[in-house]
């Protein structure tokens, strides 16, 4: 309590121990490895289930595409959050903004927002489906960036097919 009073009164520097606020928050919120694995598993399975359920409900009359777009987007967000349990949120965000993943991350996020816009505001089923496909491709390309030489292999395979 005394330290808090000193910091608030300006008598002691908040970063006097050499660590920044982000590092201290990261240390204070660190989870045990078992808890991280459980969180990863729950979020990942929830993401897959949302995506599969959305795909199954795609064929409902009138509302199927909207339900699909929402559940598919929620599934992708949940799957993305699952990796935050393994890496930590700050490291995950830094990884998403890394040179080799920045474009795929940006396209994935933009397509996710555009999918929801097309489903709810624009009421354009064709655009919602197109953005879902682009979202899937960007998420796949993003995921492949974590596997060494996977992107090169996919590009080589595509060049052989053409």
Across 46-63, average pLDDT: 89
- For residues 76 and 51, the answer to whether their CB atoms sit within 8 Å is yes
Quote the pTM value: 0.73
Average pLDDT over residues 119-129: 87
Average pLDDT over residues 35-39: 91
> pLDDT tens-digit profile of 65-112?
889 989 999 999 999 899 888 888 888 899 999 999 999 999 999 999
Mean pLDDT of 113-120: 91
> Which of 12-21, 117-126, 129-138 is the most confident on average?
129-138
Upper half-sphere CA count for residue 42 (Cβ side, 13 Å): 7
Q: Which residues contact 78 (CB under 8 A, 6 or more apart)?
A: 43, 44, 46, 47, 50
């Amino acid at each position: 309590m005394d330290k808090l009073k000193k910091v608030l009164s300006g008598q002691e520097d908040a970063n006097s121990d050499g660590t920044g606020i982000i590092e201290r928050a990261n240390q204070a919120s660190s989870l045990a490895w078992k808890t991280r694995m459980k969180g990863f598993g729950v979020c990942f399975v929830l993401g897959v289930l949302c995506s599969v359920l959305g795909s199954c409900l795609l064929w409902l009359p009138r509302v199927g595409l909207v339900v699909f777009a929402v559940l598919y987007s929620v599934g992708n967000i949940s799957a993305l959050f699952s990796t935050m349990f393994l890496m930590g949120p700050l490291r995950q965000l830094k990884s998403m903004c890394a040179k080799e993943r920045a474009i795929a991350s940006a396209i994935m996020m933009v397509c996710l927002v555009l999918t929801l816009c097309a489903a709810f505001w624009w009421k354009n089923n064709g655009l919602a489906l197109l953005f879902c496909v682009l979202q899937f491709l960007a998420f796949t390309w993003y995921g492949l960036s974590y596997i060494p030489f996977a992107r090169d292999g996919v590009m080589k395979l595509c060049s052989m097919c053409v």
